Structure 1
C-alpha cells in the first residue's frame, strides 16, 4: 500500500514538473467537462462537428490529418464509439510512431476499455518519446514532438462542443491560441511560415472570426485565396469568408431594428452568396446548405419587415437548399433549420405549415436556450391563423396555453419576456383579441400571465397595461 501511494506521489510530482501534457482528454474544453445539455442534444452537436471535420479531412494536407483524426477520435469516444476512437488513434500512431497525442489518447481509451496490458504499453511508449526515461531521446527530437503535440491540442479548441455563451467560446479559443504560441516556442519558429500555407491561414481566419476580429479574418481569408484560389482545394476560405459576411449583415440588421444604425449593406449578402455557391458545387453538406439557405432568405425579404417579400425567386431557392439540408441525418434535429423554413413558409402564406415548423423548432431548442425567436414566430403564426379563421377561439386558446407553458419550462424568464414584448408591440390588436378569447374560455390565470409578462418597462408601461385592461372591461 505504501509503495502504491509513493508511486502515485512520484507521478503527480512528475506531471507538475512537465511543461506540457500530451493527449486531448485533459484539455480545458467544454467537450471534456460534464455535459450541461441532454444526451440527445450533446450527441447531435458532436455529430454535427464530426460531419464538418470529416469533410475537411478529405481535402486536408498530410501534416494536418493527425490533428483531425485526434479530434474525430475524441468525438467518437464521447459518442461511446470506443472501438472507432481506438482505431483512429492507432491510425495516427501507425503513420507517425512519434506522435505523443496518439499514445496519450490510446492510454485513455484502453483505460476505459479496461485493457490494462495495452494501457501500460502505450504509457511506456509515451514516456520514452517524451524523454522521461534516461538516455531515450535527443533533446531536439523531444522539442519537435512537444511542438506538434501542442499545435494539435490548439487545433482541437476550434471545434469545441458545449459552449453556452460567446464569452465561453472566446475563452476556449484563447486557450487554443495560447497552446499554438507555446508550440511555436518549442519549435523556435516565427509565425511567418503561415503566409504561404492556406491550411494554416484558414485556421487563423476561423479563430479571428470567432473572436470577433472580422477585418483580420477577411484579410486572412483573402491571403489564403491569393495562395490557392481553386474552390475544390481551398473551399474552407470561401466558407469562412461567407460566414463573416453573414455575421456582418445580421449584426447591422439587429442594430437597425434597435434604431441605433442605418440599413444593413445587402452587398454582404451578395458576397456571401457568391462564396457559398462556389462551396456548394465542390463540397455540399448540411452546414453549407443551411448557410446558403439563410442568405437566400434574407435576399428574399425586406430587411425591416421580414414578412414582406421582395424577391420571390430567392425565397423559393432558400426553401430548395433548406430541403436539401433536411435530407441529411442531422438536418431534422436542428432548430435553426426549422425556424428558417417556417419563416419562408410564413411569408408565402402557408401559416399552418409555418406553425408546424416553429413548434418543431421550440421542441428542438436546448433547455435554457436564449434563442426564443421560434416561440415568438409560433405565436405570430397562430394569431395569423386565427385572424384568417383557420383557428377558432377555443383552438387558439388551447394552443397558446400549451406552448406558452412549454416555453416557460425551456427559456430563461427574461428572454421569454422580451420575446413576448416583441409580439405585443407588433400585434397589439391581435393580442388583445387573444386575451378576450382567453377570458371567454375562463383562462384568467393565462391572461394575467400574458399581461404581466408583456407589460412594457419604462415610461410607456402603465399606458400599455391600461390599454389592455380597458380592452378587456367590455
Structure 2
C-alpha cells in the first residue's frame, strides 16, 4: 500500500497544477458550510432535495447522470447522519464506474468520518492511481485521464444546482456561477465544445434550470423547447416541462407585482394556461410533492382575481388547487412546508372557511425559519382573525389573546422592517377592523399591545416602508 503521506503530497502537487480536487465535500456550496438554520429545518430541506433526486435517479438512463445523482444522494445522507446509506451510494458509483474520481474521494471522506482508517487509505491510494500518482500509474492513468477529470468536474458542476441552504437569490446566483465555472473546466479537459448539449436533453435541462435561476427566462424557455423537440415524452423528459412551467409562473407573478405597483397592465393569464398544460403532463407520469405544490399554485392563481385575491373568479380551479394541495400534504414532508400551508390557507379564506384558514396561517408562522424575510403568513393570519372577529366568530377577549400571542411570536421570527411592512399592508386594507381591534384591546386593559401594533403605523406617515398609495401624515394614536 502506498505511503499515505507521500500520496497526500503528490495529490497537493497535482491539485496545484490542475486546479481541481475530486470529491463533493470541499465544494463551496452552502451544503458544506456550517448550517444557519435549526437542525430540524436543515433536515427538512435535505429530505426534500433527496426526494427530488430519487425521482431523477429513477428516470436517469445514462451512467454519467446516474453517477452525478448518486453523489448528491450520498452527500444528503451524509449530512443527515445516515453514514451507511452515504457509503452505499458512493460504493454504487464505484461499482458501476470504477474510474470515477469523485466516488473514491467521497468514500475516503465517509470512511474517515466512520473512523475506518484502512478503508480510507485504500480509497486515497485508489484515487492516487487513477490520477497518475501511484507507482503502478501506467496501468491505470492511461489516455482516459482527461476524460476522468472532465467527468469529475462535470459532476461537481451538476451538484451546484441542487445546493441546500442559500439564504438569498444573490447567494443562489453565486453558487450557480461557481457550478458553471466547473462545467467550463470540464469541457476544457474533455476537449469538447458545448455542442454536445444540442442533442442531450439532460444537459439541456440543466442549462435551462440554470438560466431560470439566473433570471434569463427567454433562454430558459428556448432551451426547454430544444430539449422537448428531441424528447417530448413527459415520462422521460419531465424536467423540461417542469422548468418551462416555472418560467411561465414566474413571468405571471412578475407582471402581477408590477401592476400592483402601478407600473404596467394586467398580467397575461396565458402564462397560467401554459404552466397548467405542462404540469398536467408531469403530474400524470411523475407525481410528487413539488409537482403537487406547483400545480396547486397555478390553479390558485387561475381561481382568483389578479388584483383582489380574496375574490374568486373560478371556483372549480380553487377546488382543484385544494385537491392537489391535499395530495401534497399527505406525503411525508408535506406538512413541513410553509408555502403549502400558506397556499392552502389562502384557498380556504376565499371559500369563507376563516377558522381553518387561520389554522393554516398559524402553521406557516411556526414553520418559517427564524430570520425569514417573508412574513406574509403572519399578515394573512391577522386578516383571518379580524375576519372571524367581525363575523362574531371570536369574542373581543379571544381576539386580544390571539393577536398578543402571535404578534410576539412573529417579532421573534421576522426582521423588524419586514414585519412593519406587513402590518402596514394589513392596516391599509382593513383600517376599520384594526381600529375596532384597538378599541377592544384598550377595553381589555392591553394598552401596551395597542402601542406595539400602532407604533409601526405612525412611522408610515414619515414615509418609512410605506408602499405606493399609502396615506401620508396620519394622526398618531395615543392610548
- TM above 0.5, yes or no, is yes
CA distance in 1, matches of 2:16, 2:38: 35
Matches for 1:18-37 after TM superposition, within 5 Å: 18-37=18-37
Q: CA deviation at 1:61?
A: 2.3
Residue 413 (str. 1) matches residue 416 (str. 2) = yes
Task: Give the secondary structure class of the aligned counterpart of 2:473.
Answer: helix
Matched residue count: 467
Matches for 1:120-269 after TM superposition, within 5 Å: 120-133=121-134, 135-136=137-138, 137-138=140-141, 140-269=143-272
With the length of structure 2 as denominator, give the TM-score of the two structures: 0.94
Matches for 1:398-437 after TM superposition, within 5 Å: 398-437=401-440
CA distance in 1, matches of 2:152, 2:11: 20
Q: CA deviation at 1:452?
A: 1.0
Other-structure match for 1:284: 287
Q: CA deviation at 1:449?
A: 1.3
Out of 454, 457, 463, the residue aligned to residue 473 of structure 2 is: 463
Other-structure match for 2:112: 111
CA contact (8 A) 2:10 2:133 kept: no
Root-mean-square deviation (CA, aligned residues, Å) is 1.7
Other-structure match for 2:385: 382
Other-structure match for 2:447: 444
Q: CA deviation at 1:65?
A: 0.3
CA distance 1:180–1:197, shift in 2 (3 Å): same
CA contact (8 A) 1:368 1:412 kept: yes
CA distance in 2, matches of 1:315, 1:106: 49
Q: CA deviation at 1:454?
A: 2.5
Task: Give the secondary structure class of the aligned counterpart of 1:140.
Answer: coil
Could you give the per-residue CA deviations for residues 27-81 of structure 1, whole angstroms, max 9, x where no partner exists?
0000000000000000000010110111111111222100000000000000000
Q: Which runs of 5+ in 2 are unaligned?
A: 464-469
CA distance in 1, matches of 2:141, 2:49: 38
Q: CA deviation at 1:90?
A: 0.4
Residue 47 (str. 1) matches residue 50 (str. 2) = no
Q: CA deviation at 1:461?
A: 6.6
CA distance in 2, matches of 1:239, 1:38: 30
CA distance in 1, matches of 2:356, 2:366: 16
CA distance in 1, matches of 2:83, 2:70: 14
The worse-fitting range, judged by mean Cα deviation, of 248-257 and 24-33 is 248-257
Matches for 1:19-98 after TM superposition, within 5 Å: 19-62=19-62, 63-98=64-99
Matches for 1:342-361 after TM superposition, within 5 Å: 342-361=345-364
